[in-house]
Amino acid sequence: MCGIVGLFLKDKALEPRLGALLADMLVTMTDRGPDSAGIAIYGGGEKGRARITAQSAAPETEFPGLADALRAAGIEADVTVKSTHAVVEVAADRLDAARAAIAARPGLRVMSAGESVEIYKEVGLPKDVLARFDIAKMAGTHGIGHTRMATESAVTTLGAHPFSTGADQCLVHNGSLSNHNNLRRELVKKGMTFETQNDTEVAAAYISNEMAEGRDLGEALTGALDDLDGFFTFVVGTKSGFGVVRDPIACKPAVMAETDQYIAFGSEYRALVNLPGIETARVWEPEPATVYFWDHEKAA
C-alpha cells in the first residue's frame, strides 16, 4: 500500500504554490506509506540550461568539491546543496557529460536529469522529507509525489519513488508487477540500465524506452497495458506532460479532479480536499485500462 499524488497546473497564477500544494497532498497520504517519500517538481528552467539532482549519504564531504571536479572534467556547473541532495546546473548541451561524470563518483547517485525536473527523495515520513528540502517553497508547472510502504524490497533512498530513467521523465507506482524480471532483461538488451531490483524502476524504464523509440506519453502508457502484468496505478511526469493509467482490474484506489486551474490525482479523495476550488471540481475515478494524459505544449 502506497500513496500517490499529482498536480498539473493550467493556471499560471498557481505556479508559485505548486510545491506547497503538492506537499500538503502528500502529507495527507502518510498513513499509506510511512517508510520513505519523494517528489518531482517540474518547471522554472532557463533556456539553454539543464539540471541534475544528485543525492549523497555523505553530503558534507561529497558536495563541497563537486563543482571543481566537474570543472576539471571540462564542465562548468553551478551547485546548490539542499540537505542530502544537490542541484547541478549546466549548459543543456553538457547534460549527458555532466550526468556521466556525477554517476561515476562512488558517493553520488543521480536522482534526475533534464531541463525541467528536480527530484527529491529520502527515507522517512513525508512531512520530514518535504521539510528538509523546502519543497513548500518551490514553484513549478506540474509535479508528482509518492509515499511508500515497502512490501517487496528494502527501505532505501534508491528504492523510494519517483524513479527517473530518462531526461525529464519519472514515474510513481502503487501496486506490484509480476513480469518485471523478464522485462528488465529485455530492456537491458535495448541499452537501459538499472540501479535497483524494484519493479517500479522497470516500469519507468519501459516508459522511457517507448518514448525513446518515438512514442508520445499516451502511446507509451497504452503499450504498458499490454506489456506489463500485475496490479498497478502509474502517475508519470515528462517535461511538459502528466499521465495516469490503471491496470484492467484497477484494484488500487485512485481519484482525479479537474477545474479551470488544475488537474489533480490522489490515491484517496482526502489528498485533494485542500486544493483551491475543489468544492466545484469535476471529480471522478479513473477508469480501468484507460490512459489519461495532458501536455502543456499541446494545450498552448
Which sequence positions are flagged as catalytic? 2
Looking from the CA of 272 toward its CB, the CA atoms found within 13 Å total: 27
Alpha-carbon Rg for the chain, nearest whole angstrom, is 18
All cell numbers assigned to 141: 508547472
Whether cis (ω within 30° of 0) applies to the bond prior to 162 is yes
Strands (E) across the chain are located at: 3-9, 36-42, 49-55, 78-82, 85-91, 109-114, 117-123, 142-148, 163-166, 169-177, 230-237, 241-246, 255-258, 262-266, 282-284, 291-295
- Burial-class residue 138 by CB neighbours within 10 Å (0-12, 13-18, 19+): buried
* Residue whose grid cell is 486551474: 261
CB 13 within 8 A of CB 36: no
* DSSP-assigned states of every residue in 126-143: HHHHHHHTTGGG---SEE
Distances (CA, A) of 296 to 124, 154, 172: 32, 36, 20
All cell numbers assigned to 259: 477545474
User: Other CB atoms closer than 10 Å to residue 119's CB: what's the count?
Assistant: 26
Backbone angles phi, psi at 80, to 5 degrees: -115, 120
Alpha carbons 27 and 202: distance in angstroms, whole number = 26
User: In what helix (H) or strand (E) does residue 180 lie, and over which residues does it extend?
Assistant: helix 180-189
